[in-house]
Structure 1
Amino acid sequence: MLGLALKCESVFNTVKLESNSYQGLLVAINPEVAEDYRIVEAMKDMITEASQVLFTATHKRAYFGHVTILVPKTWTNGIYNSSHEESYNLADVLVASPNPMYGDNPYTLQYGQCGDPGSYIHFTPNYLTDDTFVNDYGPRGKTFVHEWAHLRWGVFDEAPTEGTDPFYWDNSQQIQATRCPTGLDGINVFYTSDNPVTYRTCQSSRNGLPEEGCVFVPYESQNVNVSLLSHQYIEQCYNLKCFKLMIFLLKVIEFCDDANQTLPTTSNNNAHNTEAPNEQNRLCGMRSVWSVMRSSVDFNGTNFPNDGISDVTPTFTVARARTFEKFVLVLDVSGSMNGDKIISMKKAASLFVTQFLPNGTKVGIVKFEYTATILQNLVVVDNNRDQLANVISNLVANGGTCIGCGILDGITVLGSDGEPAAGGNLIVLTDGEENQSPMVIDIRDEVLNTEVVVNSIFFGVSTANQDLQDLCDDTQGVWFFNDDMDSGALIQTFKQLSNLNDGDVYNEKFQIYGQSFSVPANEIVNGSVYVDSSIGNNTVFTFSYSSYDSPHVLLYSPSGSTFCSMVPPVDCAAYASVDTQFKTITFQVPGTAEHELKH
C-alpha cells in the first residue's frame, strides 16, 4: 500500500511594507561564490539606487528601508555580524553562479499566476562587479526595481520575451511593436553587424509584419516616462548601437497604468497597452501593472503617497551564515500514538539522527504528552548517532497531548548551547488535536518573539491543527501531512526536513531514488539504480520493511562486488546494518559509489 506525504510551504514573506518602507529584505550570497567584498558593496549601491527609483515609480508610496546581506560561512576576511534567523533558503535575492538558461542576465523565478509573489531574484557576481553589463541593462537600480516588480507584485514583462511576438497588428490595422505604452515611439531596424554597427530598414514578412530579427528602437525625443516593465534600461543610451542611431531618451521611471486613473503622471501617452501580445496582458487578463500593484497587500488601502519623506536611503546589515544548524525533535508520545504509529515515528526519527543530519549539525530531543520532557539537550552530531537513536527507541506512548508544552521545551533546548535560539528549527510531530494547556494559540506571541522556525508533521490525521499550521506559516516553517499507512513516506518527510537549504550543493545530501512495493512470500524483486559521475560520495542505501522477518537484500556493483544484508552462500564485499527494532536495512557504500549500483 502506498502512503501519502504532502508538503505545504508557506507563501509568508518576512518583507513588510510599513509606513512606506520595506523592512526585512534578505540578500544571500551562495557558498560557492569566492569571497569578494566588492559584491557586497555593489549590492549596497544597487539597492540604494533602487530605493530612489522605487520611491519615484510608486509615487512616494514605497522605498527600501533595512536590508540584510548574508555572506557564506566560508567568508572570513571581513568584519561580519553573526546571523540568527537568516538563512540562504529564505532569501529574497540570491547572488550565485550563472544559471545555464540565463547566463549573467538578472532574472526572477516566478511560478505563480498574476499577482502571486515570485520565489527569488537572481544576480551573478559578474553582473554586480562588471560595469559593462550596464550597457545592456541600464542602471542597476532600475534593473533591481524591474525584478522587484516581478518578485513582489507578480507582474510580467511588457516588452517582447521568448515565445511572444515582437510586432502585431493593432485594432486599427497598424503595425505596432510590442511595448508599453504605445506612446513610446521608435523605428524598426535590422542589425546587419555589431562591429562596426550597421543596420538596414526592416523588410516585411508574408503576414505583413516586420521580418524575423527586426527590432524596435525608440526615438531620441519622447513624451513618455514608462514603463519599467518594458524599457527599464532607458536612462541615457549607453549602447553603441544607440549612439549610432543618435538616441538619447527621456528617463523611464514609472509603470504603465490605466488611462482613467488619477495618478500624477498618467496620461494617454503613458497608458497601458492592452493590445500588445506580451506576458503581462496574457497572464494578467489585459490588466496594467499598476492595476495589479494596487490590489496587492502593499497598496490596497494602505501606504498612500507620503510627501513628508525626504530620505529614502536604505540601511544595511552584513551578517555571516551560521557555521552549524540546530534542530530539535518535538515528538508526540500521547496515547493515540500507540501501536504502529509510534513504531513508524521512531524508525523515521532514528534515521533522521543516524543518517540524514550532516556531521556538525546540532540536535536535541523533546517528547510531549500531558506535559513535556527534555530527553536530550543540544549536542553536535558526530560519532554519537547511535546514542541519539537509543533515546528515540525508548519512547513509549501514553497520556494526553500538550503540543504547547513540547514547543516551549523545544525552544529551551534550542538555547541550551548558550547561543540564541533564533533561527533554530523545531520539528513537531503530532497525530491529534491538543487537549492540555498551554495551547499553541496561547504561546504564539512568545514563540514569534524567539524567532525560531516551527515545522510540523501531521501524522495520520485528515485535518491539521489550524493553530499549529498557522504558527508554521508565521515562522517561515513548513508543514506536512503524512498518511500513517506508509512509514516510507514519513521517512522521506524527515529526509526533506534534514536538508539545510544553505545553497551548498557540494555538501548537500540528495535522494536519487525511492520506491514502495509489496514482495510476496518466497519471491524475488530485482531493480537497478543509476548513479552518474556527478554524485556518489558517501552513498547510502536504506530499505525499510514491515514484515516480521527481515528480508534478504543483495546489492551488486557494476564491477561485480556483492553487498549483503545477511551471510549468504556467496562472497560478500561488505554487510549491511540491520536494525530489527526499527525494521531497517542500511548499506554504507565506502568511498565513491560505482555507476549503476544495483539491488
Structure 2
Amino acid sequence: MDGRWKKARWRWRTPAVMVAVSLWAWVGVLGETRARLVDNGYEGVVVGVSQAVEDEHGAELVEALKHTLTEASRRLFVATDRRAYFRTVTIVVPREWTKVNLTHHEGSENFEDSDIKVDEMNPVYRHQPYTQQNLGCGAPGQHIHLTPTYLLNDSAARGWGSRGKVLLQEWAKYRWGVFDELGYAEDPAFPLFYISHRRNRPSLCSDREVTGRLIDKLHLSACRMLPSGEPDANCRFIPYPHQTATSSLLSDLAIRSKEVKHFCGTEGRPHNSAAPTKHNFHCRGRSAWDVILSHSDFEDGANPPSDHFENPTFRVVQQADATYALVLDYSGSMNNHYRVHKLRRIARRWLLYEVATGSYVSIINFNKNARLVRSLTRVTDKASRKLLANSIETKADGGTSIGSGLYVAARQVLRDSANPVILLITDGEENENPRIDHVLFDVVKSGARVVTVAFGEEADLQLEKVARSTGGKTFTVIDIDEGQMLEDAFVGALTFQPPQPDTPITIFETVYKDGGREASSTFHVDFTVGRNLTLRLETGAQVSSSSPRLTNPQITSAPVLIGPDGTVYRNARFDPDSSTWLLVVPLAEAGLWQWKVGLSGERSTSVRVRIVSLQRDPSVQPITTKAWISHGAKDVNATVDRVVIFAKVMQGNSPVVNADVRAFITPPHEHEPTQVYTLRDNGQGADITAGDGVYSHYMTHFTSPGRYIVRAQVTDGGTAVIHSGTSQPVRRRRREVEEKGEEEEEEQDMDEDYIHTILGVPERCCGSVIPVPRDSTPTGNFQRTYSGGSLKVTNVPETDVLAPSRVRDLSVALVGVGWGRGSLPIHASVRIRWTAPGDDLDSGIVSGYELRMSTDVRNLEEENFIVNSSSSSSSSSSSSYNNNNSMTGWSVVDLSGLPVEVEGGTHLLLNVSLTLNSHKTYFALRAWDDVGSVSEVSNLAPLYLDPARVRTSTGGMGAWVVVVVVVVVLCLLVVVAMLCLARRRTRTAAQKLI
C-alpha cells in the first residue's frame, strides 16, 4: 500500500462502523478517565508510580498495590450492591526501575493520566490518602493520591483503617463525585460537631446511633464547653470500640467500625442530611447512594446487580516512548494567512529541539487524499531530527479529507504501536470523503490519543469530538498569532511521552511587533530554576506578499541577556533550520534579568521571545504550573453549562498559595479584545478548597460561538508562599480526670491505649480551608506561563443568564447579649461574615442580598427560600408564606446602610443587632443580580446560645458591663467616704474654734 487512502474501501464499511463509532464516542465522554464499567467490571484502571519513587522497594510496592486493589474490589462489590468491581488494572512503574517483574515491557498508559497516583507526600496531607476534587457534586476528581509510606508502612496506614476500604472511599469520590461525611478540626464550614436536640453530636452519617465520648485531645480530660454550648477546639469525639452501624463508608474514620460496609442512602440506611458535612453541602443534602446511582455507570439501570465477581487481573508495565503521527493539512486553504509557512517553522523547531530522544515520528500530509511523507523514524541524534524536519513542506493545494489522514495514521502507521499519539493540524472544513465520522472507530480502536489543532476560524467543528473520544487535547491557533499558540499545541503533545529527567520550564514569553529600533523587557529567575537558562528568539519569519517565501526580519544586533549584576551575556547563535536565535547561560543567578535585541525599525518586523530553564538543583523541586478548563474537549452550551478555568501552582507536591494567577482568554474573532480573569484559591465561587494550590474562576463572558483559547500567567504577587504542611500538636499523657466528658447513653470501656490510638492519627485533611502555616517559605519573585488549550462554545446567551454564585462561608458569631430578666427573647449583637459573590457567578458586583434567620432549618431550604422581587439589601420584612399560605417562622435581617455591594471575592464583615427568640437560630442568604436572577441558598450558619453558661460567665450581663458596674460602685463608695471624712474634719475644726 502506498500510503494513500483508497475510497473504495469505505463503501462496505459504513453501517457497521457508524454503530461502533457511536459506542466509542459515548465511552469517550464518560469522564476524564479512560476506565469504563463494562458488565459490572471496571476495565482500564491505571495506577501510576512517580519517577520520584525509588525502586529499592519497587517489587514490594507493586505487591502492596495488588493486595490493596484486590481488597478494594471485594468491598466495592458489596458497597454497590453487586454492581461493580475492578476487572483489569494496569500499574505503570518508572522507566528507571530494574527490580520489578514486568508483565509487558511497554504500555501506552502514563503517570500524568493515572486514576491512582503513587507519589511523594503532599506536606498538607502528609501520608493520608486523598482525592483531588476540583468540581462539585457528581463530577469526577482529578486523581487519587497514595504515598509509598502509606502502602508499605503498617503503622502509617493503621490510623486510616483498612487500605482496601480507604481506597474504596477515595474511588467513590474520584469516580462518582461524592464527598466526606465527617467533620474537620477547626474548619469553619464543616465542623467536628453540631447541636441537635440540645446535644453535641459528631458530624457524620450512620444508620444507627454512634456512641462514644467527648475528650480533650491535649489532656485526655473532659471537653471544655464554650458559652454557646459547643465544645472548644481541643475537643474530639472518641467512638466506643463496638458499634452496630453499617454506614456510611464516607464517615468510616469517625465511626471506627469493621461493620461499616455501605453508603448512606442504601435500602434501610437513612441519610443524615442535617449534619454539616462536606457531602451534604456540595450535594445539597442528597445521600451518597443517590448521587452514585445518578452516575452514568449506573444511570437508567446500567450495570444492574450481578452475582458474578472475579478478582482483578494486573498488568505491570513501563511507559513506552511515544510514537507520533503528524497528520498535517496541506489543502489549498492552508495558503491563507501564510498558515503553511507558520506550520513549517514551528513543526521544524519541535522536531529539532522538543521531541524526546527515543520517540518515533512519522509525517502524513493530506488534502483530498492522504500521503505518507515519512514513515516511522526514531529520534536518536541531530541527523535523524534534521531528516524529519526537512520533510515538512510548504506546497499546499486541493480539497480537505481529514478522515483520510487519520485513517492512514491509525490503520497503517500506528498499528500495534505502543503509546501512539496523533497530532492533527487542520484549518479547513471537510469537503472530501472519507470524513472524521467515517474513521473515528478505527482511530479509537488504535488506542491513539489525538491532539487536535484548529488553525483559523473555519477549522472543522468535529475536531473536539476526535480529541474527546480518544482522551486527547484540543488547541486553537488564530491567524494573527506569531507562532506561540501553535507551539503550545506541539508542546502539549509532549505530555504523552515518558517523563524526562530534565523538563524545560517556561518562565517567560512575549511577542514584540510594535516597530522601533530595539525590543526588550525583564523577567525573574527564581531560586528553583536557572540551570541552562535559554533565550529562544524567533525572528518572526516574515512572508512577502509579492513573493511567498520566507525572509529574515531586520535584526540589526544579536539578542543579549543582562543579569542582575549587570553582566551582559552575548554569544547568541542563529539557527537557520528553525529561524531562531539561541542564547544559553549555564547557571543563571536568581534575580531580575533583561533580554534585548536590536531591530531595523520596520513596522512589519516582529520578535517572539521564550525563556526556558531547567531546575537549578536536582534536590530542589521547581515551581511549576498547569492550566486546564473544566469541560476539556467537550462542546459547551454557554446558556446552561458552567465553565471553570483552573491553574495549579506547586513546588513539587507542595502547594504554592497566595500567588497572583491570571487567565488570558482569546475570543474566537481576531478583532475581539483579550479577556482577563483573576483566578482565586479562596474556597469560594468556582474554587472548592481554599489553600490547596488550585486556583479557579468561572468563565462568564462569551461574545460569540467559536473556539476560545486559554492561557495562564502566574507571578508571586509579592505574597506567594510555599505551603510547609501542618504540624500536629504534642499530646500529653492522661492526667487525673476531675469530671467525665459528655457521654452517650451506652457506656463502654475505653482504655488509655485505645484513646491514644484514636488520637494518634493525624487530623483529617481537608475541609473548606487549608490554613497556611506562619513558617511557610516565601517564593520570592517568580513567573510562569502555561497553555490551557482551547474550548469550543456552540451556543452563547443573548441575555444575562448567569446568577450570582452560591455563598459558601457565611458565619455568624455572638459579640454580646443583653438579657431580659434572664430569659428569652434576647437582644444580641452578632458579627456576620461572608465572601461576596459576583453579578455573574464570581464576576462583578451583586445588586443585593436577603439574609434570613429562623429556628427551623426547613424554612431556609432552597424550595422555601424564595426571594421577593421587591427585596433589597435593606429589606426588613419579618414574615413569609409557605406552600400552604400559612405564616412561617423566619425573618429578614436588616442590612440597610451597610456596605454590602462590593466586588466578587471581597470579604464582608458586618455587626448587626438582633432579637433572638430561641437558643438555636440558623442564618442563610441569597444574592441577586441586576436582572433579578438569584443565587442558590448559602450554607447554613448556626448560632447557639446556652443561657445558663452565658449567665454564669457574665452574671446576666456582658463581662465588661460587670467590670464597669463594680468600678463605678467602688468609685462612688470612695467618693462618699471622702466626703464623710471631709465633713467630720470640718466639724472638728469648728468645735476647736468655739
Quick one: which of 119, 143, 146 aligns to 2:169? 146
Q: For 1:593 and 1:412, how far apart are their aligned partners in 2?
A: 47
| 1:55-78 deviation digits (Å, cap 9, x = unpaired) | 111111111111111111112233
- The Cα of 1:561 is off from its aligned counterpart by 4.6
| 1:55-103 deviation digits (Å, cap 9, x = unpaired) | 1111111111111111111122333112332222221111111112211
- Given that residues 59 and 99 in structure 2 are in contact (C-alpha distance below 8 angstroms), is that contact kept between their aligned partners in structure 1? no
- The Cα of 1:437 is off from its aligned counterpart by 1.7
Q: Which amino acid aligns with 2:434?
A: P
Residues 562, 374 of structure 1: alpha-carbon distance in 2 compared, 3 angstrom cutoff: farther
Matching residue of 1:315: 313
Matching residue of 1:17: 37
2:250 is the alignment partner of 1:229: yes
| 1:154-184 deviation digits (Å, cap 9, x = unpaired) | 11111113442112233x4443221113744
Matching residue of 2:331: 334
Matching residue of 2:263: 255
Q: Which amino acid aligns with 1:178?
A: S
User: Over aligned residues, Cα RMSD in angstroms?
Assistant: 2.5
Q: Which amino acid aligns with 2:202?
A: A
Matching residue of 1:116: 139
Q: For 1:275 and 1:188, how far apart are their aligned partners in 2?
A: 21
Q: For 2:209 and 2:479, how far apart are their aligned partners in 1?
A: 61
Quick one: which of 51, 55, 72 aligns to 2:77? 55
2:237 is the alignment partner of 1:216: yes
**In terms of mean alpha carbon deviation, does 325-334 or 219-228 score higher?**
219-228
2:557 is the alignment partner of 1:562: no
Matching residue of 2:471: 476
Quick one: which of 156, 159, 179 aligns to 2:204? 179
Matching residue of 2:223: 202
Matching residue of 2:737: none
Q: For 2:60 and 2:566, how far apart are their aligned partners in 1?
A: 52
Q: Tell me, what secondary structure is at the counterpart of 1:530?
A: strand
Q: How many pairs were matched up?
A: 545
Q: For 1:318 and 1:482, how far apart are their aligned partners in 2?
A: 39
Matching residue of 2:193: 167
Unaligned runs of 5+ in 1: 1-7, 236-248, 564-571
Matching residue of 1:368: 366
Q: For 1:286 and 1:501, how far apart are their aligned partners in 2?
A: 43
Large movers: runs of 4+ above 6 Å: none
Q: Which amino acid aligns with 2:72?
A: A
**Within-5 A mapping of 1:82-121:** 82-121=105-144
Q: Which amino acid aligns with 1:167?
A: F
Matching residue of 2:214: 189
Q: Kindly, what percent of the aligned residue pairs are identical?
A: 30
Residues 437, 84 of structure 1: alpha-carbon distance in 2 compared, 3 angstrom cutoff: farther
2:554 is the alignment partner of 1:550: yes
Q: For 1:494 and 1:226, how far apart are their aligned partners in 2?
A: 49
Q: For 2:107 and 2:270, how far apart are their aligned partners in 1?
A: 45
- The Cα of 1:414 is off from its aligned counterpart by 4.2
- Given that residues 35 and 43 in structure 2 are in contact (C-alpha distance below 8 angstroms), is that contact kept between their aligned partners in structure 1? yes
Q: For 2:124 and 2:377, how far apart are their aligned partners in 1?
A: 42
Matching residue of 2:64: 42
Q: Which amino acid aligns with 1:66?
A: T
Q: Which amino acid aligns with 1:18?
A: V
Q: Which amino acid aligns with 1:26?
A: V
- Given that residues 368 and 432 in structure 2 are in contact (C-alpha distance below 8 angstroms), is that contact kept between their aligned partners in structure 1? yes
Q: For 2:29 and 2:304, how far apart are their aligned partners in 1?
A: 33
Unaligned runs of 5+ in 2: 1-27, 543-551, 596-994
- The Cα of 1:12 is off from its aligned counterpart by 4.0
- Given that residues 378 and 413 in structure 1 are in contact (C-alpha distance below 8 angstroms), is that contact kept between their aligned partners in structure 2? no
Q: For 1:295 and 1:191, how far apart are their aligned partners in 2?
A: 41
Matching residue of 2:400: 401
- The Cα of 1:400 is off from its aligned counterpart by 0.9
Matching residue of 1:491: 487
Matching residue of 2:652: none
Q: Tell me, what secondary structure is at the counterpart of 2:348?
A: helix
Q: For 1:165 and 1:370, how far apart are their aligned partners in 2?
A: 64
Q: For 1:34 and 1:585, how far apart are their aligned partners in 2?
A: 39
| 1:168-202 deviation digits (Å, cap 9, x = unpaired) | 233x4443221113744233433455xxxx61121
**In terms of mean alpha carbon deviation, does 199-208 or 143-152 score higher?**
199-208
- Given that residues 411 and 442 in structure 2 are in contact (C-alpha distance below 8 angstroms), is that contact kept between their aligned partners in structure 1? no
Q: Which amino acid aligns with 1:452?
A: A
Higher-strand-fraction structure: 2
Q: For 2:275 and 2:458, how far apart are their aligned partners in 1?
A: 47
Q: For 1:345 and 1:153, how far apart are their aligned partners in 2?
A: 41
Bigger relative contact order, structure 1 or 2 (CA pairs below 8 A, ≥6 apart): 1
Matching residue of 1:5: none
Matching residue of 1:238: none
- Given that residues 184 and 218 in structure 1 are in contact (C-alpha distance below 8 angstroms), is that contact kept between their aligned partners in structure 2? no
Q: Which has the larger radius of gyration?
A: 2
Matching residue of 2:516: 521
- Given that residues 180 and 227 in structure 1 are in contact (C-alpha distance below 8 angstroms), is that contact kept between their aligned partners in structure 2? yes
- Given that residues 410 and 442 in structure 2 are in contact (C-alpha distance below 8 angstroms), is that contact kept between their aligned partners in structure 1? no
Q: For 2:509 and 2:368, how far apart are their aligned partners in 1?
A: 37
| 1:106-130 deviation digits (Å, cap 9, x = unpaired) | 1111111110111111111111000
Q: Tell me, what secondary structure is at the counterpart of 2:299?
A: coil
**In terms of mean alpha carbon deviation, does 46-55 or 549-558 score higher?**
549-558
Residues 291, 192 of structure 1: alpha-carbon distance in 2 compared, 3 angstrom cutoff: closer
- Given that residues 190 and 200 in structure 1 are in contact (C-alpha distance below 8 angstroms), is that contact kept between their aligned partners in structure 2? yes
- Given that residues 234 and 251 in structure 1 are in contact (C-alpha distance below 8 angstroms), is that contact kept between their aligned partners in structure 2? no
- Given that residues 248 and 263 in structure 2 are in contact (C-alpha distance below 8 angstroms), is that contact kept between their aligned partners in structure 1? yes
Matching residue of 1:423: 419
Residues 391, 536 of structure 1: alpha-carbon distance in 2 compared, 3 angstrom cutoff: farther
Matching residue of 1:568: none
Q: Which amino acid aligns with 2:521?
A: G
Q: For 2:37 and 2:76, how far apart are their aligned partners in 1?
A: 13
- Given that residues 187 and 216 in structure 1 are in contact (C-alpha distance below 8 angstroms), is that contact kept between their aligned partners in structure 2? yes
Q: For 1:148 and 1:586, how far apart are their aligned partners in 2?
A: 49
2:27 is the alignment partner of 1:33: no
Q: Which amino acid aligns with 1:539?
A: L
Matching residue of 2:524: 530
- The Cα of 1:220 is off from its aligned counterpart by 3.7
- Given that residues 221 and 250 in structure 1 are in contact (C-alpha distance below 8 angstroms), is that contact kept between their aligned partners in structure 2? no
| 1:390-432 deviation digits (Å, cap 9, x = unpaired) | 222x3212111111221223336744xxx83242111000011
Q: For 2:281 and 2:255, how far apart are their aligned partners in 1?
A: 24
Residues 225, 119 of structure 1: alpha-carbon distance in 2 compared, 3 angstrom cutoff: same
Q: TM-score when scaled to structure 1?
A: 0.85
